[in-house]
Amino acid sequence: MTDRGPLSRRDLLRLGVAGGTATLAACGWDGGRLIQPKLLTVSRLNDWVGEHLLFDPDRLAPTCPPDRRIGRMPSYFISRGGPPVWPQGDEWALTVGGLVRKPIRLTRPMLEKLPRVTYTVKHHCVEGWTAVATWTGVPVRAVTELVQPTADARYLRFDSFDSGFFNGWDLASAMHPQTMLAYGFNDRPITPDHGAPLRLYSPVKLGYKLTKYLTGMTFTQERPGGHWEDQGYPWFAGI
Amino acid sequence: MTNPSPEPVQLHLTPVRRHHWMVRATHWLSALLLPAMIASGLQIYSAFPHFGQKGNVSPVPNPFDSDRFGGMPEWARLGGWLGGGINWHFALAWPFVLTGLAYLIYLTVSGEWRALLFRPRDVPRAWAMQLYYLRVRREHPPQGKHNALQKAAYTSIVLLGALTVLTGFAIYKPVQLGWLTALFGGFELARYWHFLAVWVFVGFTAIHVILVFVVDPASLRAMFNGWYRGRFPSHD
């Protein structure tokens, strides 16, 4: 205890360290080489908590009638110069393979003959906005039953023709009854704006997990990354 | 000691033990974590600086609703981009919540919550204190460790912290924790409450720091080393 007044030199030093840290932190700093890897480690911990503690594979996202659609689904893709379009004349097909007993190539007519689901749900974007839209397609679970994955299949990788955009999914979220390969959007065939001819859709994941312009679906043992996930977005992204 | 004034008098006051190390540690941890949580939160907010649906923005009061300057100024953000902000926010959320829980557990176990919880009987005391601050009343009302207005502030800031964490979970897992999201009026409103809480925190902190320096600078030192030697010793 000194008689110098209410603040000792040591107190001021401590205050300075705290203030300095806060100021440094406030300059758009992503953590740098020292801290960013640690932030990503915690992000993997959060993925684990999201996948194993908070995700209920049977919980359905609330649905509503199509006349309750609100907001606008924007058109997002990573290719430059407009939404990617599958070349005319080339037959498009979805290649389903990897750790499966019966790999298959599914054309649009084949997909449309498989079990069909339609629902109107709220879409959650990582940016913070929402929009309600109607999606029609075949449950990923139905396609999975066709190809019969082997016991060591733990993840699903979805590939696209949108400049190599891809996503990795945990099997439980992919097998969720509302996760589908969508070919219909708001009561119409899906357009290139929203991922034609086929896109992944699910109300239990953030939008960036929902690969558009699908070309392939591969069962893997190793965890696939993803276009945004590899740049730092959370991998699990279940909501 | 009815005369709360000149400096020399203070020096003869016996220092009193004021803050347990748990209180000091959780206080300064919060003081570091809260600005980082706010700055990373504002980085996330800047990705969609509105409330509501895409193309159908909710008409909630929000002076920071912006397309023009892209959300928050650079200096108020942490993370550099949306993904960076997310990683800071969801990493620091752990120590932030654990610090809050440690503080609450300490208050419960030590019984110190009695000196802090604002109860109905504190209403007239808070009024007396307000009159003193407005200089209507001359004498400082008798108080324990904290006066009734402090109790009101320290009780509501804990409630605000709880609201922040709960609305945070509501917008983190709006499907899995759908009941919680519904409790706050749905995803869009829960996100709005989460954002409003920021400005209450900012206002609280500003007033808190001003009062420390203007009214009772000795309390700052007490928050560092635990000992209080100043104008407002406990009347208990």
Q: What is the CATH number of domain A32-231?
A: 3.90.420.10
Please tell me the pTM assigned to this model. 0.90
pLDDT at B235 over 60: no
Q: Where are the domains of chain A?
A: 32-231
Assigned token pair, A31: 């953590």
pLDDT at A27 over 60: no
Q: Where are the domains of chain B?
A: 112-217
User: Which residues 144-203 of chain A have a CB within 8 Å of chain B?
Assistant: 203
Note the pLDDT tens digit of each residue in A153-209: 999 999 999 999 999 999 999 999 999 999 999 999 999 999 999 999 999 999 999
pLDDT of residue B68: 61
pLDDT of residue A25: 54
pLDDT of residue B8: 46
Which of A42, A132, A238 is opposite residue B91, by nearest beta carbon? A42
Best to test chain A binding among B54, B88, B97, B177 (most A CBs inside 10 Å): B54
Which of A22, A122, A126 is opposite residue B82, by nearest beta carbon? A126
* Cβ-defined contact of B78 to A204 (cutoff 8 Å): no
Cα dist. B171→A41, A85, B26 in Å? Answer: 22, 34, 26
Assigned token pair, B29: 């941890």
Q: Is A154 helix (H, G, I), strand (E, B) or coil?
A: coil
What are the φ and ψ backbone dihedral angles of B157, each rounded to 5 degrees? -70, -30
**A105 CA: distance to closest CA in chain B (Å):** 33
Percent of chain A exceeding pLDDT 90 equals: 85
From the list B174, B124, B164, the residue with the least C-alpha distance to B147 is B124
**pLDDT tier at A4, thresholds 50, 70, 90:** very low
Note the pLDDT tens digit of each residue in B20-54: 999 999 999 999 999 999 999 999 999 999 999 99
Q: Which residues of B touch A26 (CB under 8 A)?
A: 35, 39, 75-78
Average pLDDT over every residue of A105-120? 97
What is chain A's Cα-based Rg? 23
* Cβ-defined contact of A1 to B90 (cutoff 8 Å): no
Note the pLDDT tens digit of each residue in A33-88: 899 999 999 999 999 999 999 999 999 999 999 999 999 999 999 999 899 999 98
Q: How far is Cα B30 from Cα A95, in angstroms, rounded to an integer?
A: 51
Is the backbone peptide bond immediately before A87 cis, with ω within 30 degrees of 0? no
pLDDT of residue B14: 80
Higher pLDDT, B9 or B167: B167
pLDDT at A23 over 70: no
What is chain B's Cα-based Rg? 21
